[in-house]
Structure 1
Amino acid sequence: MSEPAEPQALPVPQHVHNAQLQLSAALEKAEGKPVDLMKAPWADVEQAVIKLLGGKFEPNRPEHQAAALGMAGGFAMRLISEHQAFWFPNRDSPEGASLGFPQAIIMLSPFGAVMDALTQAKLTRLDDLASDIRRSLGQVRFGTNPGQALGTQQQTLAPTDYQRLFDPGFLQFIVVDSAKAKQTLEAKTDVLARDVRDALGRTQPPLPPEARQQFEGQIVTSLQRMEVGKTLADQAERAPRLAELMTHLVATVGGTGSAPEEFWHDVVLPLLFIGTPANFPPLDEDELAAFKQGADPLALFVDVVPHAHPAPDEGLLGAFDMSEIGLVHPAFQKVGALRLIRINPDRLKPLLDKYDPNATMDAVQRFTAHVSKAAGQPAAESAQGKEMLQAALTLLADLKRSMTASGDVCLRRLTEAEAASEQALAIVRRALQSPRIILT
C-alpha cells in the first residue's frame, strides 16, 4: 500500500494524515490493489470511492466525510509536492487547518474543495482547481516585478505569516447595541458603502492615506460588490466576515482588548473563577519540581488552585455552556464558521462585580510565597510572567467595565493581523457612530 508521508515531516495535521491512511487501506482492500491518492487520476479515485461507499456521495454522512478528509490529504500532498505548499492552523477551516503557498497569498481548504467536487459528482474539478493555482503562481513567478528586475529576491511566505493573516486565534468581548445591529444588517449594502466612505472622511484624527485606502478597498469595495438592492442580512451567508465587521463597526458600544484564545482559556477566565482564596492546597512533587525548574507561579496558580465558583466542565473557553451561546442576528443562522456570537453573561456578572485586580494580584503573590516556602527556594521571577499577570488583570478590568454598557455581550474572533489594526478600526467606528454635522 502506498502510504502518505509522516505528518511530522511536513507537517500534516494528524487527523488528516490518519484519514488518508485509513482511506488508502480501505480502497486497497475494496479494489484488490493500491489506489495512490497522490498520483491516481481523480476520475479513477472517484469511481473507487463510490464503490467503497456503496453509492453516491452524501455530504452529511460521517463515513462519507471521513473519506472526503482522506482525499483532502491526498490533494494537499499533490500541492505540497508541486508547489511546496504547507499546512497552517486555521480555526475557520472545517479540518482545523488550511493550505498556504510560499510564493503568493493563496489560501485553500483541501477538505472544502473535495467536498464541493464530490457533491457535484465531479472530482476532476480538483484538477481544474490545481490548474488555477498553478496559473496564479506562474503569474507571480514570471510577472513583471521591479524589485526582481533589480536583482532582489521575492519574499516568501511561511506558515506563521498565513496564521497571522487568516487564523482567528484572538478573542475579545464586545457589547453590541442590538437595535443598531439589526438596523445595520437589514440595511441595503449600497447605503452602507456610502456611510462607510463618508465616515472615512470624518475620522478624528484623520486616517493616514494608506490606512484609508485599505479600509476603502476592504470594506467599501466589498460592500459595492454585493448584490444591489439586497440587504446585508440577505447576503450574510455569502459574506459573513463583512456582515460581522459591519456589525462591529456600527453597533459595538463597549468591549475588551483582544488576546489569544489560549490566554483567555488558560489564564484570564480561570483567575476570575478562582477568586481570591485565603488558603492554598499543598503541591505534589511534580508541581514542586516544576517550580524549582523555573515554572511561572501564575501558571501554577491557575493550574493548582481550585475554582471558588463553578464553571462548566465543557463548553466555550471553559466558561460558557453551549446553551449560553446564541446568534447576534438570524441572518447568521446559515453561516458555518461564525466569528461573532452572542453569549449569556449571567454566570460572569456576579464574579466581575466582586473582581478587584489588587486582591487578585495579592492572591497570586501569596500563592507564590506559599510555593516558595514549600519548595525551599524563591520564585524565578521573569518580566514575561509579570507582563502576563498584568495583561490578565487588565482584560478582566476591561470585561468588568464592559458589563456596565447596555447591550448584548458578544464574543468576537479575529486574526492577529485584525487585532493589530483594531486601533485604526476604533477610529472609523467612532466616526460611523458619531452624529453628522450638517451645515445649513
Structure 2
Amino acid sequence: MSDSDQDRKKQERAARERFERAMVELREGSYRFASKARGQAGLIVEELIDPDGEAILNLADIEGDAGALALSVPLDMITFETWLYGQIGDQEALDLEIQAHYDFWFNFGAWIGETLRRRHGGHWLLTGDDPKRWRLGFSKILLEISPFSFAEQLLRAQSDSVHRLVSEIERLRQAHLDQRERDGDQDIDRFSAQTYIRMHTMPLGQWMVMDFKHLARMWNQAATRDVVKELKKQAKRAPAGNLHIIEHLVQALDKADPEKPLGQQTGDRALFETVAQILALRRASAPVAMDIIEKYVLPTMHIGIPDKFPDLDDDDRASLRKGMELFELFVEVVPHKHQADDEGFLGSIPNEDLASPYRERTQLDVSKGDWVIVNPRNFKQMLLEFDTKRMLDKYDEFVAYVRADPKAPRRRDDGRMLAETVARSMADLKACVVASSKDDLALVFRMLPPPP
C-alpha cells in the first residue's frame, strides 16, 4: 500500500471516529436536556410537541391572533419558557464563554436536532468542530436546518421562544405530512447524507443575460463620477440585501479619478464583474449544480422531445437493479436528436461559439470564476420545441414504458424530482436565450462556488 493510500485511510478513520464521537455527544446532550427539564421543571418536553397535545392544538386554534395567544398559552409552555430563560442565571444574556451556558445551549440544540431526526429521519452533517456549523438534512424532504443556531436564537430572545420552537417543529411535521400525501401515503427516503454533502461541495453554474454595449459605454467612455451616479440610482431599486454591495462598490470607486473612465484606470476583473452585474444584468437563471448541468440538463436539451424510446437491453436492466434513477436511465438510453460537441465547452458547446467578455483576451478559466460569452445559435434550435409539461409528460411515458418491460425490475419513480429540476433549469435557460436574442444582448455562463 502506498503512503498516499495509508494517509487517506488514516484520514478516513480519523473522520469516522470524530463523527462517532460527535454522535455520542449529540445523543447524550439530547438526553441531558430532556432529563433536566423533567427533573427541574416537571416537564416531559416531548409532550409539548405532540401533534395531539394541548400546545399544538392551541397553536392551530389561535395562530395569528396575538391577543388570543397571550390568553391561551398552555401552562406547560409558560413553565417551559420560564425554566428555559432561568438557565441563563443572573446574567443578562446568553454568554457561550460561560461553561454552564455553553453546556445548556449545546444540550438544547442537540435535543432539537435529535428529536427531529428521530421523528422524521435525517442525517447530521458535522462540518468542523463548531456546533453552530452542524446541520441536519432530512431524508424525505430536501431541507437543511441548523439546530444549534436555532437554539441560540431562542435563548437570546426576550420572549415567545417556546411558541416559536413549537411552531417551527409543527411546520416541519406538516411539510413531511404534505410530502407523504404527495407520495401516495408512503414514507420515501429520497435524500442521503451524500445528497447534502454535494450541496456544499459541488460548484454551481448560472446563465446570465448581459447588456455589454451599455456596459462598454459606462466602463470605457463614461467618467467614473457618472458610473457612481448610475450605481446610486440603481441602489434605490435594489433589494435590501444587495445595498451593502453597492455601498462598498461606491466606496471603492471613490479612490479612482472621477474624471476618467474606469476602463482607463483598472483591468480588475472582479471590479468589472461587480459593475456589470449591477448596471448590465438583464436576466439570470437560478444557479444549478454543475454536475446536473453537464450530466442531465444539456444532454436532455440535445435529446429534445423523443418520438419513441429504444428497446432496453440487459445492461439497462442491470443498471436499474443497481439503483440507477429512472431519469438518469432516460438520459442514458434515449438518443440525441441534436448532435452535441463532446469535445466542446460543458461537453456540448463548440469552442468557436465562445468569447471572452474581458478587455484582455487571455485564456479563460471558468473553474476559477471567469465568465464566458456563449453564442446561443444552437440553443435556439434545440429549445424551440421545449416545453416543461411536454418534457415531463414524455418522461412519464418513459417510466410507463420501463414498467411495461417484463424483464425490467419493478421500481418506483425515483427520478421525478430530478426530471423536474432539469425541466426548471431548461425553462430558465430558454428564457435567457430568448432574452439574449433581443436588443443585441449577450448570453453569459459563469461558475459559482458551492454554498457555505
TM range, smaller chain: 0.5 to 0.7
Residues 334 and 264 (structure 1), Cα distance of their counterparts in 2 relative to 1, 3 Å cut? closer
- Name the residue aligned to 1:368: 399
- The CA distance in 2 between the partners of 1:229 and 1:155, in whole Å, is 49
Helix, strand or coil at the partner of 1:410: strand
1:410 aligns with 2:444: yes
In structure 2, C-alpha distance between the alignment counterparts of 1:225 and 1:417, rounded to whole Å:
32
Give 1:319's aligned residue.
348
Residue 411 of structure 2 corresponds to residue 379 of structure 1 = yes
Q: Over residues 229-253 of structure 1, what are the superposed CA-to-partner deviations in whole Å (9 max), with x where a residue is unaligned?
A: 664435664x322312321221122
Give the RMSD, CA atoms, in angstroms. Answer: 3.8
Where structure 1 has 5 or more consecutive residues not aligned to the other structure, the ranges are: 13-145, 419-440
Whether 1:401 aligns to 2:423 is no
Secondary structure of the residue that 1:330 maps to in structure 2?
coil
Asked whether the 8 Å contact 2:372–2:446 carries over to 1, the reply is yes
TM-superposed deviation, 1:162: 12
Select which of 255, 273, 279 maps to 1:250.
279
Q: Which amino acid aligns with 2:234?
A: A
CA distance in 1, matches of 2:447, 2:234: 24
1:276 corresponds to which residue? 305
Counterpart among 406, 411, 421 of residue 391 in structure 1: 421
Q: Aligned partners of 2:266 and 2:411: how far apart in 1?
A: 52
Q: Name the CA shift for 1:180/1:244 in 2 (closer, same or farther; >3 Å).
A: same
Letter in structure 2 aligned against 1:313: D
Q: What amino acid maps onto 1:269 in structure 2?
A: L
Q: Tell me, in whole angstroms, the C-alpha distance in 2 between the residues paired with 1:265 and 1:372.
A: 27
Whole-Å separation in 2 of the counterparts to 1:253 and 1:400: 14
Q: In structure 1, what is the equivalent of residue 376 of structure 2?
A: 345
Residue 380 of structure 1 aligns to which amino acid in structure 2?
R
Structure 1 residue 292 and structure 2 residue 357: aligned? no
Residue from 207, 225, 231 that aligns with 1:173: 207
Which residue of 202, 207, 216 corresponds with 2:240? Answer: 207
Verify the 8 A CA contact 1:256 1:398 in the aligned structure 2: yes
Residues 169 and 190 of structure 1: CA distance in aligned 2, closer, same or farther (over 3 Å): farther
Which letter maps to 2:216?
K
Any idea what SS the aligned residue of 1:281 has? coil
- The one-letter amino acid of 1:199's match is Q
CA-CA distance at 1:284 after TM superposition: 2.9
| Native 8 Å contact 2:206 2:446 kept in 1 | yes
Q: Give how far 1:364 is off.
A: 1.4
Q: Determine the C-alpha separation between the residues in 2 that align with 1:325 and 1:316.
A: 8
SS state at 1:270 partner: helix
Describe the superposition over 1:10-62 as per-residue Cα deviations: whole angstroms up to 9, x where unpaired.
Answer: 879xxxxxxxxxxxxxxxxxxxxxxxxxxxxxxxxxxxxxxxxxxxxxxxxxx
Mapped to 2, the partners of 1:357 and 1:304 lie a distance apart of 20
Shift, 1:195, TM fit: 3.5
In 1: Cα distance, 2:210 partner to 2:244 partner: 27
CA distance in 1, matches of 2:264, 2:286: 31
TM-score when normalising by structure 1 = 0.53
Aligned mates of 2:432, 2:390 — CA distance in 1: 20
Q: 2:231 corresponds to which residue?
A: 196
- The offset of 1:220, in angstroms, is 3.4
Query: In 2, Cα distance between the equivalents of 1:8 and 1:416?
Result: 24
What SS is found at the alignment partner of 1:404? Answer: helix
Counterparts of 2:286 and 2:252 in 1: how far apart (Å)? 26
Counterpart amino acid of residue 290 in structure 1: S
1:305 aligned residue (334, 340, 360): 334
- Specify whether residues 334 and 224 from structure 1 end up closer, same or farther in structure 2 by C-alpha distance, changes over 3 A only: farther
| Cα pair 1:234 1:331 within 8 Å, conserved | no
1:213 is displaced (CA, Å) by 3.3
Do the aligned partners of 1:265 and 1:318 also contact (CA within 8 Å) in 2?
yes
Aligned partners of 1:298 and 1:243: how far apart in 2?
Answer: 40
- Equivalents in 2 of 1:279, 1:267: separation in Å? 19
Q: Is the 8 A contact 2:403 2:410 kept in 1?
A: yes
C-alpha change, 1:338 and 1:294, in structure 2 (3 Å) is closer
8 Å Cα contact 1:184/1:246 also seen in 2: no
> Which amino acid is 1:379 matched to?
R
How far did residue 326 of structure 1 move?
0.3
In the superposition, relative to structure 1, how do residues 181 and 199 fare at CA in structure 2: closer, same or farther (>3 Å)? closer
Distance 1:324 1:303 in 2: 26
Query: Equivalent residue of 1:348, what SS?
Result: helix
Residue 8 of structure 1 is matched in structure 2 by: 8
Structure 1 residue 215: Cα displacement: 4.8
Q: Distance in 1 between matches of 2:288 and 2:265?
A: 30
**Cα distance in 1, alignment partners of residues 5 and 412 from structure 2:** 42
**Which has the bigger relative contact order, CA under 8 A and spacing at least 6?**
1
- Report the structure number with the largest CA radius of gyration: 2
Contact 2:209 2:432 in 1 (8 A): yes
Of 265, 280, 296, the residue aligned with 2:294 is: 265
Distance in 2, matches of 1:235 and 1:164, equals 39
TM-score computed with the length of structure 2 as normaliser:
0.52
Superposition deviation, residue 196 in structure 1: 2.8
The answer as to 2:392 corresponding to 1:358 is no
Q: Provide closer, same or farther for how the CA distance between residues 376 and 189 of structure 1 changes in structure 2, counting only shifts above 3 A.
A: same
* One-letter identity of the residue aligned with 1:307: H
Question: Which consecutive residues of structure 2, in runs of 5 or more, have no partner in the other structure?
Answer: 13-93, 107-128, 135-193
Q: How many residue pairs get matched? A: 274
